[in-house]
Amino acid sequence: MIAYIDGTLAYKDPTLAILDVHGIGYEVKISLATYSKLPAENGKAKLYTYQHIKEDANTLYGFLDPNEKALFMHLISVSGIGPGTGIVMVSSMSVGEIRHAIVSEDVRSIQSIKGVGPKTAQRVVLELKDRLRKDELLAKAGVDTVPLAKAHNTNRSEALAALVTLGFARTAAEKSLDTIQHKHGNELSVEELIKFALKTH
């Protein structure tokens, strides 16, 4: 198992990073929170990774914050949540928000995430609330703030590409982004556009 990768950031987009380690490029699926905190390309980065191996794929998932990886590992231990859904979950809400929702048994917030149905949301709360309470006091969880990138013309196209990668049909993603920009204006960052889309699917 690969526990972490420490190297030079060769490429990043809202769902993917490529880290160069001594001439080998590791392709790593990332969360939105990790994307927003990554350095500029060619900067140094260390991602804590989870390696998911199945018959037809060998996929790395990476997180800048070990707490985010720990929460992701908790989430994918729940029946019905694979790594793909896990990464959408930690992209939709911050670590603090998800922990708070689980510990306070707020099934509705968990269910609002794309790909999480009512039964799965209930399972998440039932199976993880005691584990998370034991892990740390709720006060420590806090609510993370994501630094906002200044909006520019490529934000919409980056958000659209990310949503398609996360499983949206292109036409549905475009319609969702139209609605969001009409309602909230055109100055939203890539992260904000994706978060709104994931919560209003």
- In the block, tokens 């968990």 appear at 110
Q: What is the pLDDT of residue 200?
A: 67
Quick one: DSSP state of residue 31? -
Reduced to 3 states (helix: H, G, I; strand: E, B; else coil), residue 190 is helix
- In the block, tokens 């980056």 appear at 158
Amino acid at 61: Y
Q: What is the pLDDT of residue 201?
A: 59
Q: What is the pLDDT of residue 56?
A: 86
Structural domains present in the chain: 4-63 (2.40.50.140), 66-141 (1.10.150.20), 154-199 (1.10.8)
Listed in sequence order, the residues at least 6 apart from 92 whose beta carbon sits closer than 8 Å to its beta carbon are 32, 112, 113, 114, 195, 198, 199
Identify which of 12, 8, 20 has the alpha carbon closest to the alpha carbon of residue 45. 8
Single pTM value for the model: 0.71
Q: How far is CA 138 from CA 11, 28, 107, 111, 129, in A?
A: 35, 30, 17, 21, 11
Q: What is the pLDDT of residue 83?
A: 94
**pLDDT lower than 50: segments of the chain:** 138-153
